[in-house]
Chains A and B, each alone.
Chain A
Amino acid sequence: MRVITYKEAIREAIREKMIEDERVFIIGEDIGVYGGAFGVTMGLIDEFGPKRVVDAPMSEASFTGLAIGASILGLRPTVEIMFADFLTFTADQIINQAAKLRFMTGGQVKIPLVVRSPQGSGTGAASQHSQNTEAWFFNIPGLKIVVPSNPYDAKGLLKSSIEDNNPVIFLEHKLLYSLKGEVPEEDYRVPLSKTKIVKEGSDITVVSTSIMVQRAIQASEILEREGISVEVIDPRTIKPMDMEPIIESVKKTHRLLVVYEGCLTGGIGGEIVSRIVESPAFLYLDAPIMRIGGKDIPIPYNRNLEKLSVPQVEDIVKKVREIVSEDWYA
């Protein structure tokens, strides 16, 4: 099977959807000739023209609102927000309009909007350009939040997101753009709200999102050599989240570690842990459920401090060892 990058996979998804469906258009800053700040939309304007690849002025709130208005009339826009940190500008349109219009109008309208944006740290972009924003809209009913961790999922999930009739926040990761992976030539989909068991294991379940999935996989390879068998799970869609495979997994392994990049406090990990505790899986726990998340600090500029502020492979390895060896309250 051919191998392409995460970024290319996303571009392909957009391109193929634009070919297939005339109603699909993309709008964002510098996505036209410039090709997007991260080059995701490179070449698309040559193929589809400025009517469908719309360079917008620096008016995130309003061009997101514009996309909402267009979707009400039946188009299927995908908005690119240059950095997930800038989602703050779009907050009213996403939270008070897109997420709620269907509900407030008693189901009269649907908002098939996709807002895609790269999140995450590791590029030295510092506090205002490095946040992991999974938790930001996590609490808002009416939205879907999709977080792909690899090229195959990125393409399949983006297509599904564009086809979904609800507003979807599609969070890409800067460090994943260059990640290579197998992606079939044929048309395929990855359904939303379907959790994936990335790697089977029997000693502990590790649930992770975005770049942490890659780190969890690497950690599991190290731990395998020590005789610890790790089951790595990637929810892929965190809202609405498919908990069943996670519950079954915890029943099997009796231990759970949730790993996420966003700040520990108020991050998505707390929700996953709570749902497991409320589920029958609780009675199968042989160790307290643990989380590792980003430190509760803004992302620092210094390279080393930046690394220390979010979970790395060693952190995952260390934590799993602690949990399995019952060294819980060190």
Chain B
Amino acid sequence: MLDRKIKIEMLKRMMLIRAFEEKAEELFMRNLVHGTMHLSVGEEAVAVGSIFALDREDYITSTHRGHGHMIAKGGDIKKMFAEFLGKDTGYCHGRGGSMHIADFSLNNIGATGIVGAGIPIATGAAFAIKYMRRKEIVLCFFGDGAANEGTFYESLNMASIWNLPIIFMCENNMYAMSSPVSKFIPTPNISDRAKSFSIPGVTVDGMDVIAVYEVTKEAADRARNGGGPTLIEAKTYRYKGHSKSDKNVYRTKEEIEEWKKKDPIVNFIKKLKELGDLDDKTLESIKNDIEKTIEEGVNFALNSKEPSPDTLMWYVYANGDEK
């Protein structure tokens, strides 16, 4: 049974993610964000549940829909907003934007915008950990779409033959952009594919943060004790479109409403209240803290400087021009 403190922390983190996503959307609508963004509203339990089952030094790789992963790992809200607004104070000095957030100090070794491209990289990180006889493990996030990329197959194969300390976390939110899993995945569960690589495949309700935590913890222990990789499929749902250009023509309002009934935050609050772990006062103070954090983050970003054109050619080569 999980400690109350941890459960409250999980709730806080999920709420922070949602608040961040919603604020990010607002900034976008105010035309302050260049480009687009891929929101994970509805999927918070997967990010929080899984990352909380890791040790602080463990590594994660993320995707274009990675804000939740970053925040769950402890990302700095100010630097995240600043990066969205393309400011020099952002995580990537304005070079990466929403899709390419990374924080190597937190061992988030990067979000990639190429579907499936992060899977081999995560596998490589696990390879290096084993090579150096270290104790960390790697949690690799990807979606249902990536499960059809060649790199998914190749990486799970290598992770298995070399027994690497990695957890492959598939966030199955039912759609790869507009492509439904029903059309593109022939088996009921993506986790079934694990069998082909002789590794455990686990399916979990991605809207239940505790359930996600538990299966991830089990997989983490396995990896850390030399038991090799696990494929976890978290069934979840995104309320918003794939990106800001998505008109949601490929699904129905009813479907969205159905999934909202399983909302991870709403249901977790209910559960915690039932268990006596949470009262309205605490909830209120959490909400206020989050509001403050978000506001601070946005103000920091709005008041930050743009990168100077003099630094245009920086960061291309290591031992290059940047000081």
Contacts and interface: CB of A to CB of B under 8 A. Distances in A.
A69 B318 contact: no
- Contact residues of B: prevailing secondary structure: mixed
Contact of B322 (A65, A107, A109): A107
Interface in B272-323: 314-319, 322
A110 interface: yes
Contact of B316 (A73, A105, A108, A142): A142
Contact of A57 (B95, B109, B154): B154
A62 B142 CA distance: 15
A63 B59 CA distance: 19
A69 B122 contact: yes
B90 A106 contact: yes
Nearest to A66: B124
B314 A101 contact: no
Interface string B79-117: 000000000001111111000101110000110111001
A65 B296 CA distance: 37
Interface in A61-77: 61-75
B161 A97 contact: no
Given A62-B158, A63-B158, A97-B114, A104 B95 contact: yes
B132 interface: yes
B243 interface: no
A153 B9 CA distance: 58
B269 interface: no
Given A56-B158, A57-B158, A103-B316, A109 B123 contact: no
B154 A61 contact: yes
B69 to A, nearest CB: 15
Contacts of A128: none
A2 interface: no
Contacts of B94: 106
Contacts of B121: 65-66, 68-69, 72, 93, 97
B315 A107 contact: yes
A50 to B, nearest CB: 10
A204 B125 CA distance: 51
A325 interface: no
A110 B59 CA distance: 17
A107 B314 contact: yes
B27 interface: no
B124 A67 contact: yes
Contact of B125 (A69, A97, A101, A108): A69
Contacts of A102: 315-318
Nearest to B124: A69
B315 A103 contact: yes
Contacts of B154: 57, 59, 61-63
Contacts of B129: 73
B177 interface: no
A92 interface: yes
Interface in A162-219: 164-166
A73 B128 contact: yes
A292 B300 CA distance: 57
B92 A104 contact: yes
Interface residues of A, number: 43
A55 B132 CA distance: 18
Interface in A110-129: 110-112
Given A92-B114, A166-B317, A73 B125 contact: yes
A304 interface: no
Given A72-B109, A102-B316, A103-B315, A61 B120 contact: yes
Given A57-B154, A62-B155, A102-B315, A75 B131 contact: yes
Given A63-B158, A74-B128, A106-B96, A69 B117 contact: no
A214 to B, nearest CB: 30
A72 to B, nearest CB: 5
A66 B120 CA distance: 5
B157 to A, nearest CB: 6
A69 B120 contact: yes
B186 interface: no
Contacts of B104: 72, 105, 108-109
A280 interface: no
A280 to B, nearest CB: 23
B163 interface: no
B120 A63 contact: yes
B304 to A, nearest CB: 13
A25 interface: yes
A104 to B, nearest CB: 4
Contacts of B319: 165-166
B239 interface: no
Given A69-B125, A103-B316, A93 B92 contact: no
A57 B161 contact: yes
A165 B157 CA distance: 29
Contacts of A164: 318
A166 B321 CA distance: 13
Nearest to B122: A69
B110 A109 contact: yes
B100 A105 contact: yes
A141 interface: yes
A225 interface: no
B53 interface: no
Nearest to B140: A69
Interface of B: 59, 61, 90-96, 100, 102-104, 109-110, 112-114, 117, 119-129, 131-132, 150-151, 154-155, 157-158, 161, 314-319, 322
Interface of A: 25, 51, 56-57, 59, 61-75, 92-93, 96-97, 101-112, 141-142, 144, 164-166, 240
Given A62-B119, A63-B158, A108-B102, 18 more contacts: A62-B123, A62-B158, A66-B158, A68-B124, A69-B125, A69-B126, A70-B124, A72-B125, A72-B128, A73-B109, A74-B128, A92-B117, A97-B112, A97-B114, A105-B110, A109-B104, A166-B318, A166-B319
